[in-house]
Amino acid sequence: MRAVVYSSAGDPSVLDVVDREPGVPGDGEVRVRIVVSGVNPTDWKARAGATGQTVAFPEVVPNQDGAGVIDAVGPGVEGLAVGDRVWLLLAQHQRPTGTAQELTVVPTDRVVKLPDSASFDLGATLGVPAVTAHRALTVAEGGPSRLSPGALAGRTVLVAGGAGAVGHAAIQLARWAGATVITTISSPEKAALATAAGAHHTVDYTTGDPAQAIRALAPAGVDVVVEVSPAVNAGLNHAVIANHGTVAVYANNGGDQMTLDVRAHFALNIRYQFLLLYTLAPEALRAATQDITSALVDGALPVGEGAGLPLVRFPLEQTAEAHAAVENGVVGKVLIDVTAP
């Protein structure tokens, strides 16, 4: 089978396309024929060594997310069968083989059935972005701990960077759950994408006073901030957060250090919740995949430019170019076509 591998950290040129024997699923594992692999910032950062980690295995197949069809089942597997359409999450976490290959072996707790109404493209966009977004929307004081239609009714959610993949998923999930959604963007083009994703309001943070604009839309303040740039946005978040509001931080774009006025945050009972997908409790992952599946069935998570998330495609042989596109900040979701649907 064809696989993309790297043996040392570095720029995209460390990725090679090779032939390898398919893995055999062991106890509690399945093998999936990957149709589409998704690329996230975490994938290029791991490959580049930007996370400070060394390459943990002699050879690594990158990419955490993907979608395909189960083609073999190991002993002790229940609830999954050969022929099932599935999407994957954390496929390469603490393992040497991700989704940038034709066949990958994964534990069953990283495999989720893909509804018939959902495409493989959609399945490959879900893992890191949608699970992260779900977690960010379910850590507020007083809940909810699960998402469903009406779960966020009466709440206002501010999504920082609504044109990104996590921001896109957060807009869609928050809208599906009944929240009023505001998002910050940096251009009319990104405003159009956030609006297509379902945001009720967009605020261009590069012009005027974004805090004043957000307060005009939400006079009582926003209840949850889904935050990608905490260092840059700390002042803005304090200016717009509601009493007992939550800032859910999932990335450090724009800097690693932030300054907070402690007394002012005391006064508003503000909760800062930092979250890392790779160390979430199993029950949080299960809740996320179950709720995401419900949203898929409801048709609430479409992708493509018309839905606010353009798809940028590469063949498997151009995985290096796909990684470079994500590293260079391409707008949209980068997908790699691996095998025929």
**Token match 């707790």: residue?**
109
Q: What is the mean pLDDT of each run of 10 residues along the chain (341 residues)?
A: 97 97 97 98 93 83 98 97 98 96 98 98 98 98 96 98 93 98 96 97 96 98 98 97 98 94 94 95 97 98 97 98 97 97 90
DSSP 309: B
Q: What is the pLDDT of residue 52?
A: 66
Q: What is the pLDDT of residue 162?
A: 84
**Token match 């493509």: residue?**
304
Q: pLDDT digit string (tens) for 2-52?
A: 999 999 999 999 999 999 999 999 999 999 999 999 999 999 999 999 766
Element (H, E) at 164: none
Q: What is the pLDDT of residue 138?
A: 98
Backbone Cα Rg of the chain: 20
Q: What is the pLDDT of residue 161?
A: 87
Question: Any idea how long the chain is?
Answer: 341
Hey, what amino acid is at 58?
P
Dihedral in degrees, nearest 10, Cα atoms 198, 237, 131, 304: 30
Where in the chain are all domains bearing CATH 3.90.180.10?
2-125+309-337
Where in the chain are all domains bearing CATH 3.40.50.720?
130-278
Q: pLDDT digit string (tens) for 204-247?
A: 999 999 999 999 999 999 999 999 999 999 999 999 999 999 99
Beta strands in 287-332 (DSSP E): 311-315
Q: What is the pLDDT of residue 54?
A: 75
Q: What is the pLDDT of residue 202?
A: 97
Beta strands in 121-170 (DSSP E): 156-160
User: With helix as H, strand as E and coil as C, how does 93-119 read?
Assistant: CCCCECCCECEEEEEHHHEEECCCCCC
For every residue of 4-69, DSSP letters joined together read: EEBSS--SGGG-EEEE-PPP---TTEEEEEEEEEEE-HHHHHHHHTTTSPPP-SSSBB--SEEEEE
Asked: is 2-125+309-337 a CATH 3.90.180.10 domain? The reply is yes
Prediction pTM value: 0.96
| Three-state secondary structure call for residue 161 | coil
- Look up the CATH number of domain 130-278: 3.40.50.720
> Which pair of tokens denotes residue 160?
């920082």
Beta strands in 220-282 (DSSP E): 222-227, 241-249, 271-274
DSSP 260: -
CA 234 to chain centre: 22
> Which pair of tokens denotes residue 178?
């009944």
The contacts of residue 143 (CB under 8 Å, 6+ apart) are: none
> Which pair of tokens denotes residue 1?
């089978």
For every residue of 66-91, DSSP letters joined together read: EEEEEEEE-TT--S--TT-EEEESST
Q: What is the pLDDT of residue 173?
A: 98
